[in-house]
Amino acid sequence: MDMFNNAIPHVIEDAGWLAPILFIFVHLIRPFLFLPVIVVCIAGGILFGFLHGTLYSIIGLSLMSFFFYKVVDIFPSFRGRITRMKEKILKDRVLTLGQVMILRMMPFVHFHLLSLYLMEMTSSFKEYMRYSIGGVILPSLLYTAFGQAITEMPIYLSVLFFVLLITIFSYLGNRGTVTYKWNNFFPKKSAQ
């Protein structure tokens, strides 16, 4: 498996104009390869640079959210498995939208578990996709730009980084379980 994971960057480098498509495809099959999001985003930064690597990661993670939503509709047993995992790990804890977004930046939190939370928080597919795309922008930027540095930083800085994320997570949880609607941040233009 390690040989396969190490071969992925070489295949993408040699793919030419198909490289972005292959990279986005790697994002889609990432869960089956047991690759963390941070590893794929770091590879995107190395292979394509910051701007393109971030863009391709946002597209890949957004497509993963899209396919997750569709797979859960087609296979209710898969939804049941993710729901049982959610109940086992997080019990009856109610998360705010901000907390879900903070958890998306933590590399060890299950991506599909958070997608299930977003599905339960939103009222439609369109709203789910808006929040999903919004929720992958910051992790894509962070991991593509600083992913290599994050993986190589000393343990005390890693702990400090996670303490900061946990503090923000707790603060957002203490503020209540109010979910913020997209239109609060991006008001619609008035018709003239």
What digits encode the pLDDT tens for the residues 85-104? 877 877 766 777 777 777 78
Contact between residue 20 and residue 53 where contact means Cβ atoms under 8 Å apart: no
Task: Indicate whether 178 pLDDT > 90.
Answer: no
Q: What is the pLDDT of residue 39?
A: 83
Task: Indicate whether 188 pLDDT > 50.
Answer: yes
Q: What is the pLDDT of residue 142?
A: 85
Cα Rg of the chain, angstroms? 17
Give Cβ neighbours of residue 61 (< 8 Å, ≥ 6 apart). 27, 37, 111, 136, 139, 140
Which pLDDT band holds residue 153 (cuts at 50, 70, 90)?
Answer: confident
Give Cβ neighbours of residue 101 (< 8 Å, ≥ 6 apart). 134, 135, 138
**Residue-range domain boundaries for the chain:** 2-179
Task: Indicate whether 179 pLDDT > 50.
Answer: no
